[in-house]
């Protein structure tokens, strides 16, 4: 893996958001890996997922990884609200506006075009909220995107997914540290409650039935919950987490002036080779949503639905310590890049 430096910052200036609000001095933090070709035709954009920073997701990049920096120039833009790019925790005391994926993609495009001179993307690859961004890229800028891999993601936040996120918000904001619409200190109990909610949704029934947590060295179910989930979100600012939950819930590629809420029209705009890889047992992004979307990708160069055959639920799409699921992703992405 070739790293230029810890990270770069794109200063976007004062930005008018999709809501009409003006965000002052907006910044996008990003990291690059590999070398940009003279023709600038080897670019992979790899947006971050919920609460993740590029440090958390770069494990997937390597000569033998899913994304190969010896062949491709890989860019990880940090999603707003993750504590690096503009977030409640680094934007002063003013109320943080309700951002959307459309806002994020607009600034990511400016980074590519204005700073890096990139007008074509060989691939946009993303998991979870990163997958939603990949879908937005393919619909909003079809002339730029050659391929898109949507891993455990969908074109819009489904009602079931929305309800799950309401549970997450309730668990977190039930902490007494949440006052007058924001957290005034770290919500210790809220972080733990949020982790316990996530533990039930992120993994599948089969994962718990077959005690697959033992493969990672946990000695009991309680040991797994305590060590894997109770502190999983405590490393992030709680106000940042709420900001990203809002982006997630508002997610919809058609929710803009261009498409006027017409999802079928938005999907038909996509021209890329598109690969939908839901987790076969994912409860956040159900396979059936991707099945519905597949038939509406009528103008894509190609469109395929290849569920990840795994009991690891939503985490099948981010298999840090799961070699079988890693191998599946690697083979599927290699096949997509060969098109």
Burial 114-125 (b: 16+ CB within 10 A, else e): eebebeebbbbb
Catalytic residue, from 252, 282, 289, 325: name it.
282
Task: Give every CB contact of residue 337 below 8 A, 6+ residues apart in sequence.
Answer: 122, 123, 147
Does residue 170 carry a catalytic annotation?
A: no
Q: Which residues on neighbouring strands pair with residue 145, listed in sequence order? A: 121
The number of beta carbons lying within 10 Å of the beta carbon of residue 181 is 9
Catalytic residue, from 89, 128, 154, 204: name it.
128
Residues, the chain: 339
Does residue 314 carry a catalytic annotation?
A: yes
**Closest to 120 measured CA to CA, from 221, 40, 62, 27:** 40
Rg (CA), the chain: 19
Catalytic residue, from 86, 289, 314, 325: name it.
314
Q: What is the 3 state secondary structure string of the chain?
A: CCECCCCEEEEEEEEECCCCCEEEEEEEEEEEECCCCCCCCCEEECCCCCCCCHHHHHHHECCCCCECCCCCEEEEECCCCCCCCCCHHHCCCCCCCCCCHHHHHHHHHHHHHHHCCCCCECEEEEECHHHHHHHHHHHHCCCCECEEEEECCCCECCHHHHHHHHHHHHHHHCCCCEECCEECCCCHHHHHHHHHHHHHHHCCHHHHHCCHHHHHCCCCHHHHHHHHHHCCCCCCCHHHHHHHHHHHHCCECCCCCCCCCCHHHHHHHCCCEEEEECECCCCCCCHHHHHHHHCCCCCCCEEEECCECCCCHHHHHCCCCCHHHHHHHHHHHHHHHCC
Does residue 102 carry a catalytic annotation?
A: no
Residues recognised as catalytic: 128, 282, 314
């Amino acid at each position: 893996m070739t790293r230029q430096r810890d990270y770069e910052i794109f200063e976007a200036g004062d930005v008018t958001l999709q809501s009409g609000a003006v965000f002052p001095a907006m910044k996008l933090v990003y990291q690059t890996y590999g070398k940009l070709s003279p023709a600038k035709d080897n670019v992979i954009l790899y947006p971050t997922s919920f609460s993740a920073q590029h440090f958390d997701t770069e494990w997937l990049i390597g000569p033998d990884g899913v994304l190969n920096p010896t062949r491709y120039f890989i860019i990880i833009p940090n999603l707003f609200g993750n504590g690096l790019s503009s977030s409640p925790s680094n934007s002063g005391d003013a109320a943080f506006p309700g951002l959307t994926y459309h806002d994020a993609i607009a600034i990511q495009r400016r980074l590519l075009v204005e700073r890096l001179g990139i007008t074509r993307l060989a691939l946009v690859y993303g998991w979870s909220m990163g997958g939603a961004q990949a879908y937005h890229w393919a619909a909003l800028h079809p002339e730029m995107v050659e391929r898109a891999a949507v891993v455990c993601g969908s074109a819009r936040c489904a009602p079931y997914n929305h309800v799950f996120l309401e549970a997450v918000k309730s668990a977190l904001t039930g902490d007494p540290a949440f006052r007058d619409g924001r957290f005034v200190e770290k919500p210790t109990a809220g972080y733990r409650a949020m982790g316990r909610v996530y533990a039930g949704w992120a993994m599948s029934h089969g994962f718990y039935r077959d005690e697959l947590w033992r493969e990672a060295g946990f000695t009991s179910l309680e040991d797994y919950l305590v060590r894997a989930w109770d502190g999983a979100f405590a490393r992030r600012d709680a106000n940042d987490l709420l900001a990203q939950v809002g982006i997630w819930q508002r997610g919809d590629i058609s929710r803009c002036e261009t498409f006027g809420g017409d999802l079928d029209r938005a999907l038909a705009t996509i021209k890329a080779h598109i690969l939908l890889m839901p987790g076969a047992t994912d409860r956040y992004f159900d396979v059936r949503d991707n099945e519905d979307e597949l038939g509406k990708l009528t103008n894509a160069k190609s469109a395929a639905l290849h569920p990840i055959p795994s009991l690891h639920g939503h985490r099948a799409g981010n298999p840090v310590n799961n070699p079988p699921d890693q191998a599946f992703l690697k083979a599927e992405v290699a096949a997509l890049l060969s098109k």
